[in-house]
């Protein structure tokens, strides 16, 4: 018995003051505006929330590209609960635990690939570079952010590619 529960977290009040645990939480942005819930039920709710936000944005992007065989392509989709644009691939931030915008943009960029839902991120390095500007088959995304805060997570994810232009107002 090392004092940790089955979910990997200590179940005593001393854990919250442990400097090692605090450093680990800080490394992944799980402090201040994005705290890690202290009880397992709240963590399950947070996990389901993240899956819901990310999944809905993924589905919205899929609808824009035609969805599945039984769904028609949509011209406009709205996800009122989306837009979590501050988290990064390895760190939460700005009340955002998941960056659904980046996931939706990746879905749109790779829409023509076979098996896009099956391991689409395998072999794709972070901040991938794109092909030449003259290639008309290369998808381009204009991400317009109308928010008082800069979408740092989205900009960071696509900083070194010419396939995504991030405009923030």
Can you say whether the dihedral through the CA atoms of 21, 95, 156, 120 is positive or negative?
positive
Catalytic residue among 11, 28, 86, 149: 86
Contact 153, 143 (CB under 8 A): no
Q: Which of 110, 99, 95, 77 is nearest to 155 (CA)?
A: 99
How many Å from the N-terminal Cα to the C-terminal Cα in the chain?
Answer: 53
Note if 86 is an active site residue: yes
Q: Which residues are catalytic?
A: 86
């Amino acid at each position: 018995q090392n004092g940790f529960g089955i979910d990997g977290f200590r179940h005593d009040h001393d854990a919250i003051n442990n400097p090692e645990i605090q450093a680990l939480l800080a490394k992944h942005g799980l402090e201040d505006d994005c705290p890690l819930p202290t009880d397992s039920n709240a963590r399950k709710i947070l996990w389901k929330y993240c899956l819901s936000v990310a999944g809905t944005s993924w589905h919205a992007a899929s609808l824009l590209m035609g969805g599945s065989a039984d769904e028609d392509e949509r011209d406009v989709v709205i996800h009122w609960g989306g837009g979590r644009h501050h988290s990064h691939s390895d760190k939460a931030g700005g009340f955002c635990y998941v960056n659904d915008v980046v996931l939706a943009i990746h879905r749109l960029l790779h829409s023509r690939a076979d098996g896009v839902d099956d391991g689409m991120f395998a072999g794709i390095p972070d901040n991938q570079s794109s092909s030449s500007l003259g290639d008309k088959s290369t998808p381009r995304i204009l991400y317009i952010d109308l928010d008082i805060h800069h979408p740092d997570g989205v900009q960071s994810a696509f900083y070194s590619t010419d396939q995504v232009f991030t405009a923030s107002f």
